[in-house]
Amino acid sequence: MPSSLTAALPQLDFVTDPDVLASLSHDDAEWAPVGAPTAAVRPRTTEEVQAIVAECAARGIPVVPRGAGTGLSGGANAVDGCVVLDLSKMNRILEIDQENMVAVVQPGVVNDDLKAAVAEHGLWYPPDPASAPWSTIGGNVATNAGGLCCLKYGVTRDYVLGLQAVVGGPAGDYGTAVRLGHRTTKGVAGYDLVGLFVGSEGTLGVVTEITVRLRPARAAAPRTVVGAFPSIVAAGNAVAAATRRGLLPTALELLDRACLQAVEDWKHLGLSATAEALLLAQIDTPGAAGDQEAAALATVFRDAGAEWAEQSTDDFEAEALFAARRLAYPALERLGPVLTEDVCVPRSKVPHMLARIEQIAADHEVSIATIAHAGDGNLHPMIRTPPDDDAARAAAQSAFEEILTEAITHGGTVTGEHGVGLLKRRGMRQEQGPGVLAMQQALKQTLDPLNLFNPGKVTGAPDA
């Protein structure tokens, strides 16, 4: 690390220990390439971020922001010679405004910690990625994270009213802090720069403060409807049927048998893994209307071929099932390398896409376990390989790319919530035309002419 950098910023918490630095150099996308950073630094304030960015810009040192490192696309992976900006120490909830139903937080605040804090004021922050117990609001903003409740309540972008960010600019004035957006319910002054930054994966600047919209806390615990299916495609048919009926549960999640078994073998939650696929639905409509909605959804499940479908009367069992949904990825990961997809297709195409995933697995002779935010068509097929098996790894990569192509063919997208990062750059170029890609690259060049912020991600150079 250039000694001049530490000399210029003596008050900051730099990390140079090789083992700690290695742990901060990548996210959870095991298959994404990782560079060798020069150092990591842990700021606590916007002013410290400004100082870091300004000094790095003066020396041509790339800056790679990271939160908790729970991403699955390589979006927080280091590039050679960079400084990793670890924002986990910026973890304060700065304000909870109960009257106006907004909160202001630093990017290192953990999603579930924000939920718990606002709940004490009778409020609720709905975005809930499966990594909510660990992932940070800054990371959620970087990828426009969704989660289990996004079917009914929307994704991160729907709740971000304003941001503070440390940016560069056409004049090269790196280290400038700007405030984007507002804290009012409405606001259309100028371009939607908040919307531009949400989902930009740290490539346009470093977000240091976030103002989020809140909702009133839900009056009652959601009802849970469970359906067990003889095949994953039958479960997909039930999702499409629910959409045609106009049913809108809070969450509609899919787990296949492999995921359930992996979680049960790990956590011993008392789950039965006899069905080939489960659909888990939550309904938070209060009163008799909620009862009717739950009954209608169970009927849709049975009509679509469910072996059984019932409203759960056991709160412990219902919680265990949704816990299994959240734990599915780490449960599989502990068994060996996992290459995780994040494709999203129109809900009517879910059965077709699930069938194609099964066929792709057979064609490439790879094992694929699937979880999904099935209600909004966001599928997470997880391709599993034995450790240290290069042939299996190559087959998995081929299957991964074919699934991306298949999602585009079905009118979908290569990433619903994990982000492009490093793993989806080819898929993004396939999905978007040259004109759109040129617009994105022009925005990057204008807002970051030095290519300082998270270089190589999203609109980076083509994959080798």
**CA gap 446, 455 in Å, rounded:** 14
Residue 432 belongs to some domain of the structure? no
Residue 4 belongs to some domain of the structure? no
Query: Please, which pLDDT band fits residue 464 given cuts at 50, 70 and 90?
Result: very low
Query: Please, which pLDDT band fits residue 2 given cuts at 50, 70 and 90?
Result: low
Residue 302 belongs to some domain of the structure? yes
Whether 283 and 199 map to the same domain: the answer is no
Residue 286 belongs to some domain of the structure? yes
Whether 194 and 237 map to the same domain: the answer is no
Across 416-429, average pLDDT: 95
pLDDT at residue 30 in the model: 81
pLDDT in tens, 4-41: 788 888 889 999 899 999 999 999 998 899 999 999 99
181 contacts 163 by C-beta, under 8 angstroms: yes
Residue 459 belongs to some domain of the structure? no
pLDDT in tens, 319-337: 888 888 889 999 999 988 9
**CA gap 268, 459 in Å, rounded:** 43
Across 376-396, average pLDDT: 94
- Amino acid letter at 100? N
Residue 294 burial (CB < 10 Å; 0-12/13-18/19+)? buried
Whether 108 and 194 map to the same domain: the answer is yes
End-to-end, the C-alpha distance of the chain in Å comes to 28
pLDDT in tens, 197-237: 999 999 999 999 999 999 999 877 788 999 999 999 999 99
pLDDT in tens, 114-141: 999 999 999 999 999 999 999 999 999 9
Q: 390 pLDDT exceeds 80?
A: yes
Q: 463 pLDDT exceeds 50?
A: no
Residue 281 belongs to some domain of the structure? yes
Candidates 300, 166, 165, 160; CA nearest to 227 is 300
Tally of CA atoms within 13 A in the half-sphere of 199 that contains its CB = 18
462 contacts 425 by C-beta, under 8 angstroms: yes
Whether 108 and 178 map to the same domain: the answer is yes
Across 234-243, average pLDDT: 95
Whether 246 and 289 map to the same domain: the answer is yes
Q: Which of 216, 244, 266 is the last residue of a domain?
A: 216
Across 154-166, average pLDDT: 97
pLDDT in tens, 343-353: 999 999 999 99
pLDDT at residue 170 in the model: 66
CATH number reported for the structural domain that contains residue 230 in this entry: 3.30.70.2190
pLDDT at residue 172 in the model: 66
Across 302-316, average pLDDT: 89
Range of 313's domain? 219-328
Residue 284 belongs to some domain of the structure? yes
pLDDT at residue 5 in the model: 85
Across 158-163, average pLDDT: 98
Residue 400 belongs to some domain of the structure? no
pLDDT: is 170 or 152 the higher one? 152
What is the total count of domains within the chain? Answer: 2
Across 53-67, average pLDDT: 96
**CA gap 156, 89 in Å, rounded:** 21
Whether 104 and 152 map to the same domain: the answer is yes
Average pLDDT, the chain: 93
Token pair of 60 as six digits: 């041509």
pLDDT at residue 192 in the model: 96
Rg over CA atoms, the chain:
22
**CA gap 91, 242 in Å, rounded:** 40
Query: Please, which pLDDT band fits residue 87 given cuts at 50, 70 and 90?
Result: very high
Whether 190 and 231 map to the same domain: the answer is no
**CA gap 177, 339 in Å, rounded:** 37
Whether 138 and 247 map to the same domain: the answer is no
CATH number reported for the structural domain that contains residue 159 in this entry: 3.30.465.10
Across 455-461, average pLDDT: 80
Whether 104 and 211 map to the same domain: the answer is yes
Candidates 140, 178, 138; CA nearest to 43 is 138
Q: 444 pLDDT exceeds 50?
A: yes
Q: Which residues of 189-222 are buried (b: 16+ CB within 10 A; e: fewer)?
A: eeeebbeebbbbbbbbbbbbbbbbbbeeeeeeeb
